[in-house]
Chains A and B, each alone.
Chain A
Amino acid sequence: GESVGLHLPTLSVQEGDNSIINCAYSNSASDYFIWYKQESGKGPQFIIDIRSNMDKRQGQRVTVLLNKTVKHLSLQIAATQPGDSAVYFCAETPGANSKLTFGKGITLSVRP
């Protein structure tokens, strides 16, 4: 079946370093990819998205890269801060008003 998955369950980084979170997806028909951040006891919070016709998209301190050839998605966080500590999920959807399929979350822990 279709699935979206993350390679690593946890990631520990030093404050100020850059973080890279990776995600693999299997549905080649996916058109839209999103990264969500979830803090304890809260709902997923939108970070950044990218459409299938793009390779890279930058936001504030975050960059999402999409490699459709190998069905790989990554989230780069520059100058990681303690407030970035959370669980990160990648998600994909085939298009508008369609459900999101989430990958397995990865916990980002920022060391002071």
Chain B
Amino acid sequence: AAGVIQSPRHLIKEKRETATLKCYPIPRHDTVYWYQQGPGQDPQFLISFYEKMQSDKGSIPDRFSAQQFSDYHSELNMSSLELGDSALYFCASSEGGGNTEAFFGQGTRLTVV
């Protein structure tokens, strides 16, 4: 069965650079969530989209932005990267209309040096 696809799997950037993470949800899933997971930490919610509109916002820095496109894939744009942004970034998708089971991708490991 198709799963949530994230790209790239690994990314190394220098401080103050920008990064773009991509997420392709499971077909027919209209909701996308982004989470950040630091080393040894639980996933922290960043932002979510439902039917291409932002549905909720968590602890996402102003340096980050995200959007969901017409094909339902989503991109997380990160600018002015800081060392503390180094983390695993997960995307999850779910099907709206009452089905709340979210399926996670394999994540993108971002390392800022």
Contact = CB atoms under 8 A, between A and B. Distances in A.
Q: Do A and B bind each other?
A: yes
Interface of A: 32, 34, 36, 41-46, 49, 89, 93, 95-105
A97 B101 contact: no
Say whether chain A's binding surface is mostly helix, strand, loop, or mixed.
loop
B104 A45 contact: yes
Nearest to A93: B100
A105 B100 contact: no
A96 B33 contact: no
Nearest to B58: A99
24 contacts: A34-B101, A36-B104, A42-B106, A43-B90, A43-B92, A43-B104, A43-B105, A43-B107, A44-B92, A45-B104, A46-B101, A46-B102, A89-B42, A89-B43, A95-B100, A97-B31, A97-B55, A97-B96, A98-B100, A99-B33, A99-B45, A99-B56, A100-B92, A102-B44
A54 to B, nearest CB: 14
Given A89-B43, A102-B42, A104-B42, A96 B103 contact: no
